C-alpha cells in the first residue's frame, strides 16, 4: 500500500473511531435519560422522516438497481413503518421488569429480570434491501435504549447517501451515526469494542464478523442466508403454489435471503406445476420480462456476470432451460425470470446460494428423499411447503431443521411482527424483529432482593442443628 493509501486508511479509522468515542462518552448520561418517553420520541422522529423521505427513497432504489416503486413500498418502507409502530405500541411492556417466582432454595426473596441496553452497537447492512435492512435493526437498537453506528452497503450508493442524510436529520451523532464506504470502513468499525454487532449478509462475511466480535467478546446477531427449498407435495393447489413461488422468487429479481432457491415438486404434478409457473411469470412480467417495469435489475455488473455464469455452467452440464434467460442474450444487469430442470449435484448452481432470478425445478417421488436432501445440506434460512395435506407438511417440519417454515406461502413470515426472524447454523444466529429484536439488543439483568430468606440458618459453622438442616434439605431436594 502506498503512502496515500496508508493515509486514507488511517483517516477512515480515525473517522469511525471518533464516532464510536462520541457514543461511548454519552453512554452514562443516556442510560439515565433515554427512558420510555425518549425512546418513543426517537422512534417517532424516525417514522416521520421515513414518511417525509418516501419519494426520495423510491428514487434512490430505482437509481441503485431499478427497483420498482411498488416493491420499494411493499418491501422497504411498509415493513420499516410497521416495525416502528409495533415497537412504539409495545415498548412500555417490553421495558417493564419481569417478576420471576422464587424456587424452594430462594424462598423469601423477590426476583426480577430488568432489560437494560447493551450499549454502543454496530449495524452492518446489506445491499439487497439496503434501506429496510439498515434501519430495521436500528428500530430494535433504539427501542432497547442503545446508541448505534450504521454502515450501509457501498453497492447501493444512492440509498447509502440517503440513509446518512435521513439519520443526520433525525438524531445527534452521539446517538445514531452513519458511516459510509466499503470494506475499509467495515474493517475499521469491526476493530472497535462494540457491545453488540448486528450483521446481515453472506455466511462468508458473517464468519469474519463473528471472529472480529470474539476479539472483544461482543454479542452478535447474524442474519445470513442459504439455499431455501420449496417442497410441493402431490396434494398442492398448483395455482396458489405457482403464484406464491413466482412472487417469492422473482421479487427484487431474486435478490432476497429468504427467496426460494429451488423447487422440489412431486413427479405426479411436475408438468402441471411448471405450466402454472410459466403462466404466472407471464401474468406478472409480460411476454418480455426484460422490458417489464416490475422486474428489478441485478445490483452490479459483477453480480449479474456471476448469475450468467451459474446458468451457463448448468446448461453446459446438461441442465435444460424451461423458460427465461439465455445467458448469452442477457442485457446488462437485467436477467429474465428463468426456470431450469435436470440439474445435478456437482453443478455450481446446486452448491451455491443462487440469489437471483434463476429457479431450478427438481422432481421427487419419495418425501423421505426430500427430507434426507434437506438434512444433508446446511440448515436453510427458510423452508416452504405447499400441500393441502397438513400431515405432509407436518412430517417435513418435524423431520427437518430450518430458520423458519412457511406453509402454502413464501416470505410472508418476515412481515409478522410477533414472530422471531433468524436463521440457524450457517443461515444465521440470533432472532430479530419486534420483541425478539428488542431482546437481542438488551441485556436481561437478573436482580434478586432478600426479603426474609432463611438461608442464613445454613451458614457455617456446619455443626449441630445446621448440619441437621443441611441433611434435611438434601433429602427434600433429592
Which residues are known catalytic residues?
223, 257
Pairwise CA distance, residues 460 & 112, whole Å: 28
- What whole-number distance in Å separates Cα of residue 471 and Cα of residue 461? 14
Which residues have CB under 8 Å from 246's CB, separation 6+? 277, 280, 281, 284, 337
- Report the SS3 class of residue 148: strand
Which burial class, exposed, middle or buried, applies to 101 when counting CB atoms under 10 A from its CB (0-12, 13-18, 19+)? exposed
For the range 73-79, what are the long-range contacts, defined as Cβ-Cβ under 8 Å and sequence gap of 24 or more? 75/129, 75/132, 75/251, 75/252, 76/129, 76/131, 76/132, 77/50, 77/131, 77/132, 79/132, 79/136, 79/414, 79/415
Asked if 361 and 231 count as a contact pair (C-beta separation under 8 A), the reply is no
- Rounded Cα gap, residues 154 and 188, in angstroms: 15
Nearest to 324 by CA among 384, 382, 249, 259: 249
d(CA 313, CA 348): 7
The Cα–Cα gap between 41 and 35 comes to 10
Q: Which helix (H) or strand (E) holds 391?
A: helix 390-399
Quote the longest CA-to-CA distance of the chain. 92
What are φ and ψ of residue 110, in 5° steps?
A: -120, 125
CA distance 221 to 125: 12
Question: Among all chains, which residue has been given the C-alpha cell 428489478?
Answer: 296
Q: Return the axis-axis angle of helices 367-376 and 390-399, rounded to nearest 10°.
A: 30
Amino acid at each position: 500500500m502506498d503512502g496515500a493509501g496508508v493515509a486514507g486508511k488511517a483517516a477512515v479509522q480515525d473517522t469511525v473511531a471518533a464516532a464510536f468515542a462520541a457514543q461511548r462518552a454519552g453512554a452514562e448520561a443516556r442510560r439515565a435519560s433515554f427512558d420510555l418517553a425518549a425512546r418513543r420520541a426517537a422512534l417517532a422522529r424516525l417514522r416521520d422522516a421515513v414518511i417525509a423521505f418516501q419519494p426520495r427513497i423510491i428514487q434512490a432504489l430505482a437509481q441503485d438497481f431499478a427497483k420498482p416503486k411498488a416493491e420499494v413500498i411493499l418491501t422497504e418502507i411498509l415493513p420499516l413503518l410497521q416495525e416502528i409502530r409495533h415497537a412504539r405500541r409495545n415498548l412500555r411492556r417490553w421495558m417493564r421488569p419481569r417478576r420471576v417466582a422464587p424456587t424452594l432454595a430462594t424462598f423469601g426473596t423477590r426476583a426480577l429480570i430488568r432489560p437494560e441496553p447493551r450499549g454502543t452497537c454496530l449495524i452492518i447492512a446489506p445491499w439487497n434491501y439496503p434501506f429496510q435492512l439498515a434501519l430495521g435493526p436500528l428500530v430494535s437498537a433504539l427501542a432497547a435504549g442503545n446508541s448505534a453506528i450504521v454502515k450501509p452497503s457501498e453497492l447501493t450508493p444512492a440509498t447509502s447517501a440517503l440513509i446518512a442524510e435521513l439519520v443526520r436529520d433525525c438524531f445527534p451523532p452521539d446517538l445514531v451515526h452513519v458511516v459510509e464506504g466499503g470494506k475499509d470502513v467495515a474493517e475499521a468499525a469491526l476493530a472497535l469494542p462494540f457491545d453488540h454487532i448486528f450483521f446481515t449478509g453472506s455466511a462468508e462475511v458473517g464468519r469474519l464478523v463473528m471472529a472480529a466480535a470474539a476479539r472483544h467478546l461482543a454479542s452478535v446477531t447474524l442474519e445470513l442466508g442459504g439455499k431455501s427449498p420449496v417442497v410441493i407435495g402431490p396434494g398442492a393447489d398448483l395455482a396458489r403454489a405457482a403464484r406464491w413461488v413466482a412472487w417469492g422468487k422473482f421479487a427484487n429479481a431474486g435478490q432476497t435471503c429468504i427467496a426460494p432457491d429451488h423447487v422440489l415438486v412431486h413427479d405426479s404434478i411436475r408438468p402441471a406445476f411448471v405450466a402454472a409457473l410459466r403462466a404466472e411469470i407471464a401474468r406478472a412480467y409480460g411476454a418480455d420480462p426484460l422490458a417489464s417495469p416490475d422486474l428489478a435489475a441485478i445490483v452490479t455488473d459483477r453480480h449479474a456476470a456471476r448469475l450468467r455464469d451459474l446458468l451457463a455452467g448448468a446448461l453446459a452440464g446438461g441442465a435444460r432451460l424451461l423458460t427465461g434467460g439465455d445467458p448469452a442474450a442477457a442485457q446488462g444487469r437485467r436477467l429474465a425470470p428463468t426456470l431450469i430442470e435436470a440439474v445435478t449435484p456437482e453443478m455450481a448452481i446446486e452448491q451455491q446460494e443462487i440469489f437471483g432470478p434463476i429457479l431450478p425445478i427438481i422432481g421427487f417421488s419419495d418425501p423421505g428423499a426430500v427430507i434426507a436432501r434437506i438434512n444433508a445440506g446446511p440448515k436453510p434460512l427458510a423452508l416452504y411447503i405447499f400441500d393441502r395435506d397438513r400431515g405432509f407438511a407436518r412430517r417435513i417440519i418435524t423431520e427437518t431443521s430450518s430458520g423458519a417454515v412457511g406453509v402454502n406461502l413464501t416470505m410472508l413470515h418476515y412481515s409478522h411482527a410477533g414472530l422471531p426472524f433468524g436463521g440457524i447454523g450457517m443461515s444465521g444466529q440470533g432472532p430479530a424483529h419486534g420483541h425478539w429484536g428488542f431482546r437481542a439488543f438488551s441485556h436481561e439483568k437478573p436482580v434478586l432482593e432478600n426479603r426474609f430468606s432463611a438461608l442464613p440458618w445454613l451458614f457455617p459453622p456446619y455443626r449441630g442443628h445446621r448440619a441437621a438442616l443441611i441433611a434435611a434439605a438434601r433429602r427434600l431436594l433429592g
